[in-house]
Each structure stands twice: as C-alpha cells, then as structure tokens.
Chain A
Amino acid sequence: MRPTIMEKVEGLRGINSVKIKEASEAGKKVVGMYCVFSPQEIALAADAIAVTLCGTKQEPIAEAEKHLPRNLCPLIKSSYGFAITDTCPYFYFSDVLLAETTCDGKKKMYELMGKIKPMHVMNLPQTAVDEDSLESWKKEMVKFKSFLEEKFDVEITEEKLIDAIKLMNRERDVMKRLHKLNAHKPAPLTGMDMMMAQWLKGFNVDKEAGIQLIEELIKETEELMDKGEFPFTEETPRILLTGVPIGAGSEKVLKLIEEAGGSVVVLENCSGYKGLDTMVDEAKNPIEALAEKYLSTPCSCMSNNNARLDLIKRLAEEYKVDGVVDLTWQACHTYNIESFTVRNFVKDELGLPFIQIETDYSDSDVGQIKVRIEAFLETIETKACCCGGTC
C-alpha cells in the first residue's frame, strides 16, 4: 500500500510554484541554488527563501545545446536550458543565484548563466582533507554572507544564523528519519516515492510546513508497517543507488530497477541521503560549523573522495543491501572515473554485486538498460537462493 500522504507530497511542486510567486510579489527575496554544497542557512538568515532550481528534465536540453556542447552532462544542459527558456518558475522568481565551482562543466556553464541573473559563485576547495581548505571555505561563507547583506540590504546576525541552522537541522533530521524507514526489510516505501519526497523538499517555500508534511508521511508509513503492508517482500533484492543526483524527469534508471523487481532502499546520491548524513554543529561558531558541514559532502568533485566509500559501506550494512548500482551521466568525468574505484571497493571490500550504468535523460537506451538491470537482478537472485545457486 502506498501512503496516501504521498499524493500531497507530489503536489508540493505545483503548490510551491504558486507560493513562490505570492511571496516574491509580497517583497520576499529568493535565492536560487543548484547543489548540496550550497549553504541554504545563510540565505534563510537573510530572511530570504532558498530554493533548488530545475535541472532534471530532458525538455530544455535541445535549447541549451544551441550554446553548450552536446557532449556535456545532461544535468548541466538541463539547468542551463531551463534558465534560458525561462521555464523554471523558481528560476524566474529568484532574485539572485548561488553557484559553486564544483565540476568543470558546471563552473564554465555558470559563467554563461551569470549573464542572465545576478550570481554569486563560491570558490569550492578541491579537497576536504586539508586544513587550508577549511580556512578558505570559511572565508567563502563570509563572502556569500556579505554578498546577500549588500544585495538585500539586511544584516545577517549570528542569532539569525543560529536559528536558520536549527531549522535546517530539523529538516535534515526529518528527511533522515524518513529515509531510515527503508532500512526495514522489506522496505515500506518504494525508491521512487523516497526519491520524490527527498527531491521535492528543495522546492519548499515554507520549510515548517514541509517538515510537518514529512512527519505525517513518516507516521502513516509506520502505521502501514505495523499492519504489515509493504510494497515489497522479504525476497525482493535490495539495491543501493549511488552516483549522480536524480529528480523527476531523470529517474529513468531508478524506475527501471523497480519495474524489474528490485527495491531501491538507499539513495546514496546528493539528491537523496548524502546531504542528510551530518548535521551542522549547533554548539560551534555558525560560520565555522557551516563550513565544516558543507565541506564534508562526499561528492566526486572532491579529490580524494574516500568518504563516499565509507558512506557506501555504512549504508550497505545498515540497509542490508544485496547489490549496488552506480548511475553516472554521460560526459560526467568525475563520477565516471570514480566508478572504477567504487566498483573495486564494492566487489572486493563489500563482496556485493555491482553495476555501473552510464546514460543521459533521454529514453533512447531504455531497452538496453532494462536487459542489463534484469540480468543484474538475476545474478543477485541466484545468489540469494537457499541452495546457494546449485538449483
């Protein structure tokens, strides 16, 4: 049984696009963001709304390719396409944009996008395992704060920052608790629903209402669990999905896994669990605490990115995973190269079946991917059988 609240969750995007219009017209400032490295807290402390901008659909890509090379990650093309075609309401109502120097493709695309709207670019260090990185990232936090103070003519006090940190920690906490429900065998929520709920939080204009809704979803899901109603059985292969971020429009592979009879129990990617793992330390100086938290994000833009392997290991155990799928976008160098490391780690250290799927947002390769996923699940099923595969 699907929780009925999911319908409300799915409605969030539509409702929020109206809310953002109203808020903007009432004089509220809006900061548009793209990435899990973006410190939403600073925007909230400036009394602004922080929203995630669209970049998960195929539609605007053709338009984007008039400016950008075709051989580029679809996430970058889609984000840019939404911006130039003015088809993302959140982009439209954003007063300023926040970007980071993550991968090369995004960094260079932002140079073009910055011509459309005022943009602040945070200079993200290339490694998290270095003292100097933290120092420079702290300075970047301060620079972003000053940027907003000047743009919006507000003062971002320490008190406001602390409040924003507490609010965002509460949002992380509720999303984390929701995600953890799927550690149960069988999982109470489909990977598709989990993805939706996690992705849609980025559009919440009213954070409190969003938190409340997820609390209700947790409650209803727990009731279904008590009644023993699950969308899967004990035997359903449990999959950890890692790699690039996904959202509505780029959920192709997740959908195919579940249609082929798997249950995606963990979304390790940054649109899922990655950003929820650590909280911002409320006891520390806010800028320092924010810098620490965001720098610790185990994204493939970082060199090295061993923290991702640690996270995969921890989640694989906690969620009793049977196999790992690494999704990488075509032309994404960082994730595609890192996939080799992840493959070896998952196969040798964790002893789990692994498959990498490299694709884009289009549907042209669905048939082929389907066969590969079905075959992958068959390798798990024969392993899982009581006879140990002799049958």
Chain B
Amino acid sequence: MISIGIDVGSVASKGVAFNGTSIIAKEIVPTGWSPKLAGETLVKILMEKGKFTREEMSVIVGTGYGRVSLPFINHKVTEITCHGKGAHYFDSGIRTVIDIGGQDSKVIKLDEKGRVTDFIMNDKCAAGTGRFLQVMANVLELDISELSTVAQEGESCQINSMCTVFAESEVISLLAEGATKSQVSAGLLESVVNKTYSLISKMGVEDKVYFSGGVAQSPYIRNLLSRKLNKEIVYSIDGQYNGAIGAALIGWEQDR
C-alpha cells in the first residue's frame, strides 16, 4: 500500500509517495493557474517514478493553501500539522520548525512525539516571504536563486520598507543612487531574516531548529538566521517536501 501526500503551495506544488518505510518518489511542479491540475499531474508523475498503480494507492492527503481545490483527496490537513509531522520524521529531535514559503511564514513548536504544541504565522501581507524576494529579484533582473550568490556580506544597504510595494520603489531608488546589485541583494535577504526573527521572537526557540520551505534554500539566509538566533539550524535539501512528507505520513497512519 502506498500513501500520497500533496502540498499545493502558492508557487510550487510538491508530492511524495510513502510505502510505510520510506519515501519512494517525490516531485515538484509549478502550481500555475490550476491547483487541481498541478495535483493531478503530481499523482501521475509519482505513479511513474515510484512504479505503482492507482489500485496500490490507498490514501491521498492534501495540504497547503490549494488543498481545498483538490477533489480527489481523502483528507485535508493544514500545513501546520503536516510540517510538524514532516520535521519529526526527518529528525525526531526537532522542537522548532521555521518554514518560509511563497506567501507565508510560520514557526511551529513540537513536542517529543512530533505533535504541534504552539504555532504562529505571519500577518496577511507578503513581507518576509518568498513572494517578497521574487518581486525584488525581478526588479534587480536576477533569478531568485541568484540573490544569495550575488549578495556580499558586510556590504549590504539597508532596506527599510517591509511592505513589498514600498520596498520595490525603495530598491529602484537605491539602484538609481548607485548602490550595487550585491549590496541591494544583501539588504533584501537581511530584511527577510529580520522579519522572520521578529516572528520567531514572539514564541521563542528550542533546539533543534529546522528550517524548511523554499526560502530555506538560500545558504545566505540560513547563515544569517543562525547567527541571529545564536543557534545551529538543521536543514535538508528535501526541505521543500517537508509538508508533503508530513501529509503522506498522516495518511499512512490514519489508514492503518
């Protein structure tokens, strides 16, 4: 029997297949205009990659903001619970999960069994999320992944606006005043870290700290955050799949 977890985010949709012992297939596709289509595509790809049939698939759990638009799932679970579960599976010593995705950021506290004991989410604007960096990368005519490589530490110029709309004009005028792309990039990444830090401060952190979501891909942000928190940060290249993994595990357990 196979359990499927589908995490439909605002930018990317992630899917994994779990057979009770390990993750046998994973895939990521852009969400695009139709969360439903993205979800269906994922299931198809997972079947090919994991070499299993539709009949072998016992349960599909959906999570992420697009979970409500998936007609073919058996359960919907919020991304909070799924991220907690996924992080616990990755390393059972994890007590704090910091997840920064395309349009929201969250901090989740876990107990020793991976149950969520507390959580906090950013308020309704895009400040400090992947969306913020995406818009800014466009202004700089860079790919979002290039922000980290271009950024040079110690040379950042401060970005004061947290709001995406105002920050955009701030960046344009900084460039006009002669700031380099590397200085601006560093400033932008710092601003995301500061915003995240203030969210974390509302709740406190306990070791070990796990950093997941698309934004965690940036080594620059990871280092900065780690120094600011004065804590080591655990990270996985599969961090983007964290929510989908959690969903698949929850499906597996519920189905038993």
Contacts and interface: CB of A to CB of B under 8 A. Distances in A.
A364 B124 CA distance: 9
A375 B253 CA distance: 18
Contacts of B65: 367, 371
Given A379-B115, A379-B116, A368 B78 contact: no
Q: Is the interface of B mostly helix, strand, loop or mixed?
A: mixed
Interface residues of B, number: 18
A65 interface: no
6 contacts: A365-B123, A368-B104, A368-B123, A375-B80, A378-B78, A391-B256
A391 B251 CA distance: 11
A302 to B, nearest CB: 26
A389 interface: yes
B81 interface: yes
Interface of A: 353, 364-365, 367-368, 371-372, 374-375, 378-379, 382-383, 389-391
Contact of A383 (B77, B78, B115): B115
A391 B249 CA distance: 10
Interface centre among B77, B78, B104, B113 (most CB of A within 10 A): B78
Given A375-B78, A375-B80, A378-B77, A368 B115 contact: no
Given A375-B116, A379-B116, A390-B113, A368 B124 contact: yes
Contact of B80 (A353, A364, A378): A378
Contacts of B124: 364-365, 368
Given A375-B116, A378-B80, 11 more contacts: A353-B117, A364-B124, A368-B124, A371-B79, A375-B78, A375-B80, A378-B77, A379-B116, A390-B113, A391-B253, A391-B254
B78 A389 contact: no
B121 A371 contact: yes
Contacts, number: 44
A43 to B, nearest CB: 42
A47 B53 CA distance: 79
A198 to B, nearest CB: 30
Contacts of A367: 65
* Nearest 3 interchain pairs by C-beta: A375-B80, A375-B78, A378-B81
Interface string B143-156: 00000000000000
Interface in B79-104: 79-81, 104
A367 B104 CA distance: 12
Contacts of A379: 81, 115-117, 119
Contacts of B104: 368
A371 B80 contact: yes
Interface centre among B65, B116, B253 (most CB of A within 10 A): B116
A126 to B, nearest CB: 28
A375 B115 contact: no
B202 to A, nearest CB: 10
A371 B115 contact: no
